[in-house]
Amino acid sequence: MRFLHIADVHLGHQQYNVAERFNDFGRAFLDAVKLAVDEQVRVVVIAGDLFHRAAVDPLTLLQAQEGLQRLQAAGIAVLAVHGNHDRVRYGAAMSWLEYLMEQGLFCLLAPDVSSSPLALRPWDEKAGAGGYIDIDGVRFIGMPWMGASAPGLLGEIAGIWDSLDWKGIRFAVLLTHAGVEGQMPHMPGGIMFADLGPLRGKVDYLALGHLHKPYAVEGWIYNPGSLETCSFDEADYECGAYLVDVHDDGSFVAEHRKMIRRPFFTLEFKTDLFMTPAAFLEGLLGYLRQSQREIVRKLRNFPDPERALPVVRLILRGHLAFDRAALDMKAIREMLHEEIDALVRRVEDRTTSLGLDVAASEEMTRADLERLVFESLIQSDSRYSPYTSALGSLMQQIKTLALEDAAPKEIYALLDEEMSRLEEESHVDHQTATDEH
């Protein structure tokens, strides 16, 4: 008996507000459907988050229906549970998963939690409810996303386990939407290993969803990962689906099949070495051209031309040796657009300015302190730092003029004269430096 375990399909996710990304999530689902049909599985289990949102639009519903109908036409049973993204919202009469269940497209499994301990009843097609279903000697038990209640409810399932009739059942699958603590350090609040202890030896295959990173633990806990990439954090995971063969003697083999996802690339550009905005842009241009060649090389054997155009983000990282205002984000975006062939291009500015370190003392006059702040500002910009003293005086003069209500013309004349003088000086400096070499 063979089944396919998928999770976190997130249909309807129009990532970055790009229509083609919406299509990608649909493609990924249809790929999983094709895999199930090609591999002639008996059952597909969807461990939560078939939909990205509780409110589903018509196109998303069509994507889901198309895939589910193909499975139905191939005689494949589909079992699902609610995830945190597609569960019934407060005030809503039913969820879209319940709607699909009503259409006869899958069994939506859930224990009856109105009693304590909870009750597991066999799937009742007429009532459209039930906690488990037996197919070819394999029992599939389903529990939706339960958040913080999950550990307690899993304990209750273990508690009533032996009161169920297990005649003719050689293998037990527990399908639920919950993360195991510690798998993704920045996503706390999952179930602990200790919570799963009572189920060990009872459940043969724990089919999980929720964390978008694939993992398998101790030969009985399996999470396939999301079918498409929901964020850059997930880009490097080898996400996919588990193809599981349950043998007649109750042993099994779970094979993780990597699925096609649109490629994501992160380009990191270090800003520390560039002293002026012009040098920065020149350095960035070279870096982007080299990156484009690398991307082309990496995608040479990409299996699907429809999805080969990547999602690319450029991260600017490091210290800025000049004023942040001189970082021309528009020029950077245009350059990225020009040089990198991609479906989506994003820029993240994670640069830090060189900090101001003003060592003021109590004996300082207000004018001294002001002068110190001006000089610190100038010092932090490599373009002006050689002229800290001269520019500091100039800033103070201009400030005084402004306070004395001087005419803008007069202020401008002073600025112009001083800057020309400094430029000349720097030219002389430069000449001297060149002559020495």
Q: Which is nearer to Mn ion, 86 or 381 (CB)?
A: 86
Is 8 near Mn ion (CB under 5 A)?
Answer: yes
Is 24 near Mn ion (CB under 5 A)?
Answer: no
Q: Which is nearer to Mn ion, 191 or 320 (CB)?
A: 191
Is 375 near Mn ion (CB under 5 A)?
Answer: no
Is 228 near Mn ion (CB under 5 A)?
Answer: no
Q: Is the dihedral of CA 52, 58, 59, 61 positive or negative?
A: positive
Report, in Å, the least distance between residue 209 CB and Mn ion: 7
Q: Which is nearer to Mn ion, 49 or 204 (CB)?
A: 49
Burial class (CB in 10 A: 0-12, 13-18, 19+), 219: exposed
Stretch that binds Mn ion, among 7-15, 92-100, 274-282, 403-411 (CB under 5 A): 7-15
Is 49 near Mn ion (CB under 5 A)?
Answer: yes
Beta bridge partners of 265: 312
Report, in Å, the least distance between residue 199 CB and Mn ion: 22
Is 234 near Mn ion (CB under 5 A)?
Answer: no
**Residues 389, 391, 396: CA angle, nearest 5 degrees:** 100
Pairing state of beta strands 138-143 and 132-135? antiparallel
Report, in Å, the least distance between residue 119 CB and Mn ion: 28
Burial 384-423, CB ≥16 within 10 A → b, else e: bbebbebbbebbeebeebeeeeeeeeeeeeeeeebeeebe
- The arrangement of strands across the sheet holding 311-320 comes to 264-270, 311-320, 344-353
Report, in Å, the least distance between residue 156 CB and Mn ion: 25
Stretch that binds Mn ion, among 6-14, 119-127, 246-254, 272-280 (CB under 5 A): 6-14
Is 195 near Mn ion (CB under 5 A)?
Answer: no
Helices (H) and strands (E) in the chain, counts: 10, 15
Q: Are 353 and 324 in contact (CB under 8 A)?
A: yes
Q: Which is nearer to Mn ion, 44 or 158 (CB)?
A: 44
Q: How many residues bind Mn ion (CB under 5 A)?
A: 2
Report, in Å, the least distance between residue 10 CB and Mn ion: 6
Residues within the interface to Mn ion (CB under 5 A): 8, 49
